[in-house]
Structure formats: C-alpha cells, structure tokens
Amino acid sequence: MTRDIFDVTDNVCLITGASSGLGVIMAEGLAEAGARVVLAARRLDKLREVSDSLKSKGYRAEAVKCDVTDEMEVRSTIESVIRNYGSLDMLVNNAGTTAVSPTADLQVNDWKGVLDANLTGVFLCCKYALKQMMTQKRGKIVNISSVYGLMADISLELPYYTSKAGIVGLTRQLALELASHNVQVNSIAPGFFPSEMTEPIIMNVDSLAYTLSRIPMKRIGMPQELKGVIRFLGSRASDYITGQVIVVDGGWSLW
C-alpha cells in the first residue's frame, strides 16, 4: 500500500516551547497524526500536564525539561531522544519569549534574554539535531518565526522583531547547508494567535481593535489552523521545499 505523502505516523518529533501556547497545539497536531512527540520546555510541571493530556487521548507523548539557552541541556535532551527512540525525524523550534519596552529604556539583559531564547536556542537545537539528521540522511527542521520577523509594527518589542527576523535568515542559510543531506529546514511565521505572549494585546480592546484592523480576515488565528502546516512540513509532501517561510497570518503581511 502506498504511504500517504502527508503521513507522519511513528515519526519522532521534538517540539521546544511545548508547555503552552502554539507549541501545545503543534505538538497535538503531530500527535493526532500518529507521530511520537517529545515535548520540551523549562516548566516541567506544565509540560507534564500537556503530555498527560495527549496520552489520555491515546497519543504518544513524553515531557522533557529543557532550557534551550543551556547548551548542555539541549545536547543531553537531543541525545536522550535519539537514545530512546533511535531517530529524530523532526525538530520544531518553537520556544520563545519577548521583552516589551521602548528601545531607549531597554536593558541589555532583556535584549540578551530574548536573543538567547529565540535565536541562540534555535541555533543550539539545530546544531545537535542536524548531526543525527545528517547521519540518517533525512530530517525536517521547522523554526517558528513570526510576521514580526518580516515586517515592522507598533509593538515595542525590538529584540523580538530582531530575533524573529534572525530566524528567517538562519532558516535560509541552514537550509542551503543541509540541502544535499536531505534535511529540509523551513520556517512558519504565524500572525496573531492566542498565546501567553499575545494575551495582554488581546485583553486590551484598543490594541485588539488596532490589530484586527490590520488583518484582512478581521479575526485572530485559531491555534488549530497551525496543525495542517506543521504536519505538511513534517511529512514527505514537503520534501522538495527548503529554506522557505510559510506565513499563516490571515493576510496581515499582504500590505
């Protein structure tokens, strides 16, 4: 029987930042499609809630504490995935944070904290995952950027915009480096979705009105709307796509 090109059954997928927000939904999307998901984040208690919830639905999930800014933790996490599962088919670099401040008042530690988590963390996870993927001669890396990596807006989050633009550059360059190894590196740039990070914007009706005025579809994204694209990028259906940014934003970035 021919295997469905969108099939991800039994694929081993490591998802960082999977304790809340879009990471939970992407992990769920992959698990629902039959993948074995390893959920990584700093907050082990919240991670366990997510993995227990997935397991209660019959999906295969494991929670692993991992701070993506800590190279040794990243290395040991990825080594343990390979040891326990025998392969690493997909890495989803979703962990991220932000710092909101006018740039003139922004502290360098806040700047470094965001760049460390959002960009250096992606580099570290890629560094240790790609060795295995090159050995396997196959692999999928998906880096979660943002529409803010592609355009400017009024939100006072300079390190966030900078880090997300950096992810776009990292994705392109790494895709080129790994193309001949049959490892595809792509990025998803979500627009405005509910998450812990966007909660203050949504709960402020004025900022919500502003944001929706910029989105042609006049609504925020439903988290489930990321499930299709993450499955696509984890499956054979995307084997000839690399170095690309798939924007999921209701048309926000069109103007």
- Residues annotated as catalytic are 160
**Are the CB atoms for 89 and 139 separated by under 8 Å?**
yes
> Which residue matches tokens 């080129």?
176
Give the H or E element holding residue 38. Answer: strand 36-41
Site map for other proteins, 156-175, x if CB under 8 A?
x-------------------
Is residue 213 part of the contact set for other proteins (CB under 8 A)?
yes
Q: Of 13, 14, 15, 25, which one interacts with other proteins (CB under 8 A)?
A: 25
In angstroms, the CA 57 to CA 34 distance is 12
Give least dist CB 156 to other proteins, A: 8
Give the residue with the Cβ less far from other proteins, 18 or 88.
18
Give the residue with the Cβ less far from other proteins, 4 or 196.
196
Question: Could you tell me which stretch among 33-41, 91-99, 172-180, 217-225 binds other proteins (CB under 8 A)?
Answer: 217-225
Is residue 207 part of the contact set for other proteins (CB under 8 A)?
yes
Q: Of 167, 189, 220, 245, which one interacts with other proteins (CB under 8 A)?
A: 220
Q: Of 6, 7, 44, 49, which one interacts with other proteins (CB under 8 A)?
A: 49
Q: Of 127, 138, 210, 246, which one interacts with other proteins (CB under 8 A)?
A: 210
Site map for other proteins, 80-109, x if CB under 8 A?
------------------------------
| 71-85 vs 121-136: helix crossing angle, rounded to 10 | 30
Q: Determine the residue type at 161.
A: Y
Pairing between strand 36-41 and 60-65? parallel
For 215-237, letters b (16+ CB in 10 Å) and e give beeeebbebebbbebbbbbbbee
Residues 6+ apart with CB under 8 A from 247: 147, 150, 189, 191, 253
Best CA proximity match to 166, nearest among 114, 109, 100: 114
Question: Could you tell me which stretch among 67-75, 136-144, 162-170, 202-210 binds other proteins (CB under 8 A)?
Answer: 202-210
- Exposure on the CB side of residue 238, measured as CA atoms within 13 A: 27
Is residue 77 part of the contact set for other proteins (CB under 8 A)?
no
In angstroms, the CA 243 to CA 65 distance is 29
Question: Could you tell me which stretch among 21-29, 34-42, 118-126, 165-173 binds other proteins (CB under 8 A)?
Answer: 21-29
Binding site for other proteins (CB under 8 A): 20-22, 24-25, 49-50, 53, 154, 156, 194-196, 198-199, 202-210, 212-213, 218-220, 223
